[in-house]
Amino acid sequence: MECSSSHGSASEPHAALFFVLGYLPLREIFAAQRTCRSLRDAIAGDDLLWRGLRVEPPLSRKLTDGALIEVASRAKGRLTSLSLVDCWLITDAALRRVVDGNPCIVKINVPGCSRLTADGVVNLVHIMVDQKKEKEKKKRVVEVGINGIPGLGKEHLHALNTILAGEECSLDVQVCPKCDDVRVVTQCTRESCRATSVGQAVCRGCNFCIARCAECGGCVDGSGEDSACFHTLCLNCWLRLTKCSLCNRAVCSAHLLTHPGDLPSPFTCDDCSDPFSPPPYFDL
Ligand SMILES: [Zn+2]
Ligand SMILES: [Zn+2]
Ligand SMILES: [Zn+2]
Ligand SMILES: [Zn+2]
Ligand SMILES: [Zn+2]
């Protein structure tokens, strides 16, 4: 990102940049901060910008407890939404400090934060709900995302449901009817599966128990069709998706978006483009 005005001068950033700041991921905001003093001042002084904090890969791998506490402090006690995706270094103690210092938090999403403990998360949600009851009677805890926290069991889920009773809250995990573990449980998107209660029961489950198409969310028989992005694909989606011009494997739409180059010029998957790796169709 570069600072330049509509007249091309290098002194002042374009006014539009200030408006898009709120939509940028944290990594881009940090990058913007380093471009010039006006943007740095605007970012530092913008309380609203810091009220919702979302850290996701690749930045999440570097987020330490100290860094989290520092970034959260920029909300000046008004943080309302905290989303930490795969932040492996974050501990219960740091998260507790952030929640203690920000009594307005109504949404906490910490999937894959593997250093957090299930007991710590239950405790944290308890504190959030108590803070709400004390400070702002009208506001409710609205969202709790804890998929992938190590050791999360039925007793924790039961404790959370008890704490959150009466709150209009969404919790991302349930007990999977197939494996009996606490995980994200999804219902099939396929109309034919949803038509009968038997059908609904057959393919309702967690991702470990039911293979689902990455494109449409429908259940898939076996391992699904050949994909070049290693996501599971159903036959219907495979037929309409873009295929690699060399190996004829399909890629899901999300992967295609991240692929460099202009489409629909012939698409070549990562395996086939890699000069050091033999294409998969030679691997017989
Ligand atoms: Zn399961
Ligand atoms: Zn599909
Ligand atoms: Zn199904
Ligand atoms: Zn290929
Ligand atoms: Zn994919």
Domain boundary among 29, 46, 63: 46
Is residue 95 located within the same domain as residue 120?
yes
pTM higher than 0.85 for the full model? no
Which CATH number characterizes residue 73's domain? 3.80.10.10
With helix as H, strand as E and coil as C, how does 30-44 read?
HHHHCCCHHHHHHHH
Ligand 5 centre from 278 Cα, in Å? 20
Is residue 166 located within the same domain as residue 84?
yes
Average pLDDT over residues 160-170: 89
The string over 140-152, giving b where at least 16 C-beta atoms fall within 10 Å of a residue's C-beta and e elsewhere, is: bbebbbbbbbeeb
Binned at pLDDT 50, 70 and 90, residue 255 comes out as confident
Contact by Cβ (8 Å): 279, 245? no
Closest CA to 182 of 155, 213, 144: 155
> For 109-120, what is each residue's pLDDT tens digit?
999 999 999 999
168: in domain: yes
Return the higher-pLDDT residue of 187 and 263: 187
Q: Which ligand sits nearest to residue 282's alpha carbon?
A: 4
34: in domain: yes
Closest CA to 236 of 246, 250, 247: 250
According to DSSP, the β-strands at 143-145 and 107-109 are parallel
Range of the domain at 25: 1-46
pLDDT at 4 over 50: no
Ligand 2 centre from 35 Cα, in Å? 43
pLDDT at 14 over 80: no
Q: Which ligand sits nearest to residue 173's alpha carbon?
A: 1
Is residue 37 located within the same domain as residue 109?
no
Is residue 75 located within the same domain as residue 168?
yes
pLDDT of residue 203: 87
Is residue 86 located within the same domain as residue 19?
no
Average pLDDT over residues 22-27: 76
Q: Which ligand sits nearest to residue 188's alpha carbon?
A: 3
> For 75-88, what is each residue's pLDDT tens digit?
889 999 999 999 99
Q: Which two tokens stand for residue 279?
A: 């294409």
Q: Output Rg (C-alpha) for the chain, integer angstroms.
A: 23
121 CB-side CA count, 13 A: 31
Domain boundary among 172, 192, 212: 172
pLDDT of residue 194: 83
Ligand 4 centre from 233 Cα, in Å? 16
pLDDT at 284 over 50: no
Ligand 5 centre from 227 Cα, in Å? 7
> For 38-62, what is each residue's pLDDT tens digit?
778 877 777 777 888 999 888 899 9
237: in domain: no
Q: What is the mean pLDDT of the chain?
A: 84
84: in domain: yes
Ligand 4 centre from 278 Cα, in Å? 10
Ligand 2 centre from 204 Cα, in Å? 16
Is residue 34 located within the same domain as residue 123?
no
Q: Percent of the chain at pLDDT above 90? A: 49
Is residue 83 located within the same domain as residue 63?
yes
Contact by Cβ (8 Å): 58, 68? no
Is residue 115 located within the same domain as residue 162?
yes
How many domains does the structure of the chain reveal?
A: 2
pLDDT at 135 over 70: no
Residue 269 sits at the vertex; the CA angle it makes with 267 and 272, to the nearest 5 degrees, is 115
Average pLDDT over residues 112-140: 84
- Whole-angstrom Cα distance, residue 115 to residue 61? 12
Is residue 69 located within the same domain as residue 161?
yes
279: in domain: no
Ligand 2 centre from 50 Cα, in Å? 37
Ion ligand 2 nearby residues (CB, 5 A):
213, 215-216, 218, 234, 237
H helix intervals, the chain? 15-20, 26-33, 37-45, 65-73, 92-101, 118-135, 154-163, 191-194, 197-202, 235-240, 253-258, 270-273
Ligand 5 centre from 228 Cα, in Å? 8
273: in domain: no
Return the higher-pLDDT residue of 101 and 260: 101
Ligand 5 centre from 111 Cα, in Å? 20
